[in-house]
């Protein structure tokens, strides 16, 4: 394991900046940055931006100096690099454009949701996750019912950062609060009470991902939300690193225990994916990914 820093070349704020990355884990990167007094606000999804004046000090602390090309190759090999298309800042306009197609004439609500998904404490439950769920819906449903698409927009609109003691809200509370937010905001936006209530119902389903056998809309949303499990290996590794980063205040032993329990529940879901399209796209790889992560955690 090692931390790398490239040559300061990137101009901003009257100086030039270098990038600080890990070749192994975000946890290692955060630990190094915290010990060196690099502020958390300098973190940008897969690296820290550090000003030129701190370069020599960080090298003295153990960061390996490399050129920019080598640093990019290290980050790519680590599996931690966030592709440009998944970077939160780059998704603001595409997401607002998508919102305008699902609920035209309510740009203020779309802007609120895009801001919520961009909250700084989020590492996995970000705009990239929202975009991935919307894209997955299109893959398995084509034109999904509007209530399902709206539920995708709201399903993690409320997301609490875990505390230093390892706790966020009680289980299911974020989903309940997201559902209530959906019902309130959509009613204010003029949706009928039945459709707003259906969106809330679908959001609540994402707490357990166990829709009924005849709940086609719930199955679509559940499958789209879990599509990340069927990513190729590098993408799945990035997902697991981001989840660990969201729970960065949780001690390793407690995290391994909790995460192993989550993985066990996912592996026990029968079916894991409900729609034929989702099973064809993601099921085999999802089982491989889940089993491999469980083995890495020692269970």
Computed over every residue of the chain, the mean pLDDT equals 94
Q: For residues 7 and 20, is the Cβ–Cβ distance under 8 A? A: no
Tell me the pLDDT band of 169, cut-offs 50, 70 and 90: low
φ/ψ region of 41 (left if φ > 0, alpha if ψ in -120 to 50, else beta) reads alpha
pLDDT on residue 130 = 98
H-state helical runs in 123-192: 127-141, 146-154, 173-188
pLDDT on residue 170 = 76
Q: Would you say residue 212 has pLDDT above 60? A: yes
Per the structure, how many domains does the chain have? 2
pLDDT of 214-238, one tens digit each?
999 999 999 999 999 999 998 999 9
Mean pLDDT of 65-83: 95
My answer on whether 179 and 68 are in the same domain is: no
What's the angle, vertex CA 161, arms to CA 61 and CA 71, rounded to 5? 35
pLDDT on residue 1 = 77
CATH number at residue 278: 1.10.3210
pLDDT on residue 167 = 44
My answer on whether 159 and 292 are in the same domain is: yes
Query: Which of 32, 66, 81 is a domain's end point?
Result: 81
Give the residue numbers spanning the domain of 37: 3-81
Mean pLDDT of 21-28: 93
pLDDT on residue 85 = 84
My answer on whether 123 and 258 are in the same domain is: yes
- CA 91 from chain center: how many Å? 13
My answer on whether 109 and 210 are in the same domain is: yes
Query: Which of 28, 58, 81 is a domain's end point?
Result: 81
Nearest to 168 by CA among 246, 253, 239: 246
Mean pLDDT of 123-147: 96
My answer on whether 162 and 131 are in the same domain is: yes
Mean pLDDT of 9-23: 96
My answer on whether 178 and 288 are in the same domain is: yes
Q: Is the pTM of this model over 0.95?
A: no
Tell me the pLDDT band of 171, cut-offs 50, 70 and 90: confident
């Amino acid at each position: 394991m090692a931390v790398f820093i490239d040559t300061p070349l990137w101009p901003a704020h009257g100086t030039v900046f270098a990038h600080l990355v890990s070749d192994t884990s975000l946890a290692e990167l955060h630990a190094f940055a915290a010990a060196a007094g690099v502020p958390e606000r300098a973190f940008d999804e897969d690296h820290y931006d550090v000003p030129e004046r701190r370069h020599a000090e960080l090298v003295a602390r153990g960061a390996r100096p490399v050129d920019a090309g080598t640093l990019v190759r290290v980050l790519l090999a680590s599996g931690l690099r966030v592709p440009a298309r998944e970077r939160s800042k780059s998704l603001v306009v595409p997401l607002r454009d998508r919102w305008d197609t699902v609920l035209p004439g309510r740009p203020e609500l779309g802007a609120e949701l895009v801001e919520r998904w961009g909250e700084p404490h989020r590492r996995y439950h970000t705009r990239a996750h929202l975009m991935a769920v919307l894209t997955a819906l299109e893959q398995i449903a084509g034109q999904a019912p509007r209530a399902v698409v709206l539920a995708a927009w709201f399903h993690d609109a409320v997301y609490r950062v875990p505390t230093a003691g390892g706790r966020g809200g009680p289980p299911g509370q974020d989903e309940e609060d997201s559902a209530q937010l959906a019902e309130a905001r959509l009613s204010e936006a003029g949706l009928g009470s039945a459709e707003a209530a259906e969106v809330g119902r679908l959001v609540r389903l994402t707490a357990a991902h166990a829709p009924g056998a005849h709940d086609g809309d719930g199955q679509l949303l559940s499958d789209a939300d879990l599509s990340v499990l069927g990513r190729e290996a590098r993408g799945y590794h990035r997902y697991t690193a981001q989840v660990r980063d969201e729970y960065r205040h949780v001690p390793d032993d407690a995290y391994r225990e909790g995460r192993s329990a989550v993985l066990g529940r996912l592996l026990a879901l029968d079916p894991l994916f409900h729609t034929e399209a989702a099973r064809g796209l993601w099921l085999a790889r999802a089982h491989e990914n889940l089993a491999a992560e469980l083995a890495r955690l020692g269970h």
